[in-house]
Structure 1
Amino acid sequence: MSSRSISQEAFDSLVRENVEDLGMDPEEALADAVETLALQNVDLAGIVKCVPGSAGAGENPVVKSLHRLRALSGSIAGDASARAEAADLLDNLADLCSLHGSDNASIATRNGGVEAVVGVCSRLGLELEEPLVSALSALGSILHDVHSTEMFRQSGGAEVVVNILNGSCGAPKVLDAGFAVIAKAATGNEVVKELFVDLKVDELILKVMKEQTAPQSLYDAICVLLTPDDNRVVASQVFGYARKFAKLGIANSLVGTLCEGKLSSSGLVSACIALKAVAVNDEICRSISENGGIDAIFESIDVNSAHNNKAVAKSCCSLLSKLAGSDDNKTAIIQKGGLDRLMKLSSRFSEDPSVLQEVMSIIGVLSLRSPENAARAVEAGAGELAIQAMQKFPAAYQMQRQSCLMIRNLASRNPENRTILLSNGVEKYIRRAKATHESCREAATDALRDLGLDNYNA
């Protein structure tokens, strides 16, 4: 059942009625109003929950900051002191709306915060870097749900931010804050994604990547723009956007960034996720490989796994699994010693089922419809990896399911592998996963069937 909304005025009126008509003390009246409305499935996000007329009424720091910001907005462009005060207000607003567990971002949205900050951004000249960064950071902190991103769209926020970024390619802090706004604004909102694409954000992204070191937020923006995450939309357009990005050259630029090997670990994770989002078809996957993408991924895996960097290992493996969907890339991965390198990685992270899960995902893709690759995988130790992991981590249901999927591909077209796997006792662990985890039932049944067992449905 969807929630109903209520205005601040109606909420305040209900609290007053509790005090004046029912004789409740102020704090009791406030608590009763909150409880009553919650039971009626009323959405109280963004409502300032304070007794009207009390000392604290009207003193909410978010609301106060927004009121003062509006008062200053007309003089920000030409008055240095007003600009300095506005920057302080924006920094404070960003801190308040980023506070974990608070309702401040909703309060800001409900009280016109998106429109106010977009207005400030539009008035600040590109030469005013520090106030501009403060404004963009505040805007990014307010954008948190579809309501706020719709306010962003309706107030012309996309045009304002793209214009700022197009004129600020030499200002790293502005670029970082601006692309962070794009990522926040496009999250869960298909219409905003489309708007940014119409504004040629792809050309802007490529320009930044070619001319300087791209901020991590740029990779985050690529990923969000190419992710179908708006559940209001039946058919997302992001697949077409990804092909457009690749045709323009963004995929190759991302590969070049990986090949340089200069990214921080967090930047490498974001770049891998972004490249995976662009790699939506066989042609793009092959192009990534032909431009050195697989070599760069393996180099990143080798370097970072030596430092036990789990996040990098997982993101690189996830990207490699996507690229392995191309038959040409399967061959390239095998020829580059991929199976041995993956087994080495699994040894380094033998106590982390989330990494083992990613390793088995790649091996499963490499073995799909390829008995030759499946034989090589078992020779490299993939069967032992699955059995040991399933034995050691019985509660890791996602890893258990991935083990079953990999085993199925190892066995389905390779009778020799079936004999090896069954003789090593894999059946027991597959049946345990099937009995223990509902999410494993189908994958486990398929694995048992392709191992040649008659009672696979048992």
Structure 2
Amino acid sequence: MALRRITQETFDAAVRENVEEFEMDPDEALKDAVDQFQSQGVDLSCIVKAVPAEPSDDKQQEQTHKILQTLESLSLAQESENVTKAAAEVKSFTEQCLHGFAERYLAGQKGAYPIILSQCQKSLGEKEAILGAVTALAALTDGQPDLLDVEGKGFLLDVLKKHHADSSITRAAISTVRHCCLKHEQNRQDLVKAGVLPLLTDAIKQHGGCADVVKEAAGALRFMTFDDDIRVSFGQAHEHAKMIVLQHNGLKVLIESAKAHSDNTSVLSELCATLSRLAVRNEFCQDICDLGGLKLMMTLLADSYESAVPKQRFIKICYLFTLSLGCCRFCFLPSQELVRQILSAIRAVAGNDDVKDAVVKAGGVQLIVIAVNRHMTVSAVCEQGCACLGVLALRKPINCQVIMEEGGVLAAVQSMKVHPDVLNVQKQACMLLRNLVSHQPNYSQLILEMGVEALILQALKTHQDCGDIAKAALRDLGCKVELRELWTGKGGGITN
């Protein structure tokens, strides 16, 4: 059932009533209002849950929230052309926007966007002023991509062109682009048509030493490949990915940048996530491998096991990488998020059958299994690890043997046990089991002896969306499964 919504004015009136009529203190009045509305099933995610601030001057007749007071002060400073005052109010506005989405939403509803955009346009020629103004615009549009209009899109491109040498301004402008492209297909298409892609790749090349710019630009490129706007039937995600790769050399730019930031897990996570979104064609997967992307991913994955893998095993893996990839370095411990993104990227590029062989030859199966076992409590890592192994096993009987020998099934079984309520873990584990036995039925008995039938049946019972893949896994494992024909092709004829 959809939650009810109220306006900020309605909420504030309830708080004020508690104070004036029921003589509650402000904090008690606020808490009571929140509890009352939530008990009625009201969605308060867009409501500023604070007592309205006192008027900033005698001219203001009623209380209002601080962010709206700041917005009013900024508007007055613009009218009086008080540059110093305007800069101070812009900074204060940004800080208040960062408190949460409710503050940003309230400001957006009360006309903040044209005021902030006007401040941006007035400051375009001044580096210090434009940085503050664009930062405010980025903060305001976070979660509110609908605010951006044609004038704003043109402004962002002008900033990226005029201030391309300044890393701070570039980062703020790209952050705004990223915010405005999430869940908004029209903004993505308009900005791409206007030429934002080369500006993003150029920013990565020009500011390659600035981790913040690289991270923002890589994220913006990734957002251009999303298809997440439910208001649009068909997006341009695939076309945008092709443009980034073919027209703007995106794969090389990202891979070279990853090599330059090999000690920054946050940047590497973003770059791996973007690479996985660009692996949309068979030749792109091969290009990532040829450019050294796979080598980099595998090396980064290996770097996380120095403290977790038994010494002899670790030396063996090091030796495999030295021979197969021509490099081996172990210097830092990636975060769980980085491991997840590396696995996601390997999964994407392994859609190419030749890349599958390269991954297995380089000892990738061992590393993936270790990753899953080491981060067994992290469902996202288990999901991506099982998915990687499932892709490697697809149409590759030899790879299936390696996965069996290296404990891939045991890792998948344990993942199913640890995360019974996580749909995607169950689905990817079932997919892996099915792929292993579809061309190698002799593995069925070994796998069944691990107790997978009960686990698959439990997944089938718990998750309705797991039905097809779970039943397919049971069928290929030789288990009894009830398959229902949805349509037999028999019945009455077609009538006009």
**TM-based fold match above 0.5:** yes
- Three-state SS of the structure 1 residue aligned to 2:471 is helix
Q: In 2, Cα distance between the equivalents of 1:6 and 1:274?
A: 38
Structure 2 residue 141 is the aligned partner of structure 1 residue 143: yes
| Equivalent residue number for residue 352 of structure 1 | 378
Worse-matched range after superposition: 66-75 or 275-284: 66-75
- Three-state SS of the structure 1 residue aligned to 2:148 is helix
- Three-state SS of the structure 1 residue aligned to 2:183 is coil
CA change 1:456–1:329 in 2 (3 A) is farther
- Three-state SS of the structure 1 residue aligned to 2:257 is helix
| Equivalent residue number for residue 75 of structure 2 | 70
Please give the TM-score of this superposition, normalised by the length of structure 1. 0.84
Structure 1 residues not aligned, in runs of 5+: 77-81
- Three-state SS of the structure 2 residue aligned to 1:108 is helix
Structure 2 residue 149 is the aligned partner of structure 1 residue 153: yes
| Equivalent residue number for residue 207 of structure 2 | 212
1:51–1:57 contact (8 Å) kept in structure 2: no
CA change 1:231–1:165 in 2 (3 A) is same
| Equivalent residue number for residue 439 of structure 2 | 413
Q: In 2, Cα distance between the equivalents of 1:391 and 1:39?
A: 38
The Cα shift of 1:446 comes to 1.2
Q: In 2, Cα distance between the equivalents of 1:256 and 1:185?
A: 27
CA change 1:15–1:94 in 2 (3 A) is closer
Aligned residues: 440
CA change 1:44–1:345 in 2 (3 A) is closer
CA change 1:142–1:125 in 2 (3 A) is closer
- Three-state SS of the structure 2 residue aligned to 1:103 is helix
Structure 2 residue 464 is the aligned partner of structure 1 residue 438: yes
User: Among residues 159, 184, 192, which one is paired with 1:189 in the alignment?
Assistant: 184
Structure 2 residue 284 is the aligned partner of structure 1 residue 284: yes
Aligned-pair RMSD on alpha carbons?
3.6
Q: In 1, Cα distance between the equivalents of 2:118 and 2:47?
A: 21
Q: In 1, Cα distance between the equivalents of 2:21 and 2:372?
A: 63
Letter in 1 for 2:258: L
| Equivalent residue number for residue 372 of structure 1 | 398
- Three-state SS of the structure 1 residue aligned to 2:149 is helix
Worse-matched range after superposition: 384-393 or 59-68: 384-393
CA change 1:437–1:286 in 2 (3 A) is same
Q: In 2, Cα distance between the equivalents of 1:297 and 1:323?
A: 11
Q: In 2, Cα distance between the equivalents of 1:61 and 1:51?
A: 6
CA change 1:72–1:366 in 2 (3 A) is same
1:448–1:456 contact (8 Å) kept in structure 2: no
Q: What are the within-5 Å matches in structure 2 for residues 51-62 of structure 1? A: 57-62=62-67
Deviations 1:174-210 (A, max 9, x none): 1221111111111111111112112211110121122
Q: What are the within-5 Å matches in structure 2 for residues 52-451 of structure 1? A: 57-73=62-78, 82-100=82-100, 103-129=102-128, 131-145=129-143, 148-154=144-150, 156-213=151-208, 214-247=213-246, 248-262=248-262, 264-304=264-304, 306=306, 307=333, 309-451=335-477
Q: In 1, Cα distance between the equivalents of 2:256 and 2:80?
A: 45
2:207–2:214 contact (8 Å) kept in structure 1: no
Letter in 2 for 1:276: S
Deviations 1:108-161 (A, max 9, x none): 1112111111111111134423x322212211221144xx4333215x111111
Give aligned-pair identity as a percent: 21
Q: In 1, Cα distance between the equivalents of 2:299 and 2:448?
A: 35
2:68–2:107 contact (8 Å) kept in structure 1: yes
Q: In 2, Cα distance between the equivalents of 1:27 and 1:190?
A: 49
CA change 1:61–1:354 in 2 (3 A) is same
The Cα shift of 1:56 comes to 7.4
| Equivalent residue number for residue 311 of structure 2 | none
CA change 1:265–1:41 in 2 (3 A) is closer
Q: In 2, Cα distance between the equivalents of 1:50 and 1:93?
A: 16
2:437–2:476 contact (8 Å) kept in structure 1: yes
1:346–1:356 contact (8 Å) kept in structure 2: yes
Q: In 2, Cα distance between the equivalents of 1:410 and 1:158?
A: 50
Q: In 1, Cα distance between the equivalents of 2:273 and 2:412?
A: 26
The Cα shift of 1:332 comes to 1.6
Q: In 2, Cα distance between the equivalents of 1:424 and 1:41?
A: 48
- Three-state SS of the structure 2 residue aligned to 1:280 is coil
1:330–1:366 contact (8 Å) kept in structure 2: yes
Please give the TM-score of this superposition, normalised by the length of structure 2. 0.78
Worse-matched range after superposition: 131-140 or 232-241: 131-140
Q: In 1, Cα distance between the equivalents of 2:43 and 2:375?
A: 47
1:226–1:239 contact (8 Å) kept in structure 2: yes
Worse-matched range after superposition: 424-433 or 238-247: 424-433
Letter in 2 for 1:152: L
Q: In 2, Cα distance between the equivalents of 1:151 and 1:428?
A: 51
Q: In 1, Cα distance between the equivalents of 2:260 and 2:457?
A: 46
Letter in 2 for 1:171: D
1:165–1:175 contact (8 Å) kept in structure 2: yes
1:305–1:313 contact (8 Å) kept in structure 2: no
The Cα shift of 1:5 comes to 8.8
Q: In 2, Cα distance between the equivalents of 1:59 and 1:7?
A: 10
Q: In 2, Cα distance between the equivalents of 1:2 and 1:352?
A: 31
1:314–1:354 contact (8 Å) kept in structure 2: yes
The Cα shift of 1:395 comes to 3.8
Q: In 1, Cα distance between the equivalents of 2:238 and 2:6?
A: 35
